[in-house]
Amino acid sequence: MSLHQNNIAQYVKAIQEQLTSIVSPIKVYSNFNRNFATEPQFVTFHLRNVHQPVYTGTIQSIKGIDRPIFQISIFTTETGDGFNIANTIIQSLHGYSGFFGTTNGFPISKADVNFLYHDYDDTVAKHGIHMDCTLDIPA
């Protein structure tokens, strides 16, 4: 049996779909672009840590789990709006188990959301709230 990593492109599609389903009608983007700063509210995400332990030895078919981490950033004109959006995401994702994504999704064992920090970017006049989400995906 050959070992393989799950498809990273599928992770990105599923993250986009899951976040969009949570915060709609607020737009979700896969990266930050200063052109978005004209919108009063938007969310971005950055997939950054895709790691799957690979075992060697007699039972090579046991791969463990994928644990991708993505950062969620919420940008708003009003700071209170950002905290409300963050709360909506935390309430929807933290501890979530089930199908992640809509059409491009996959089953997950658990999602953990960690609130990192909030800031203000005076070059775009936006408050930012930043969180990490770790997905435990059976492999």
Tell me the domain boundaries of the chain. 8-64+76-126
Residue 132 CB neighbours (<10 A): 16
**Rounded CA separation 119/123 (Å):** 12
pTM beyond 0.75: yes
- The pLDDT tens digits along the chain (139 residues) read 344 567 888 999 999 999 999 999 999 998 877 777 788 999 999 998 876 666 666 666 666 678 899 999 999 999 999 999 999 999 999 999 999 998 989 999 999 999 999 999 998 899 999 999 999 888 6
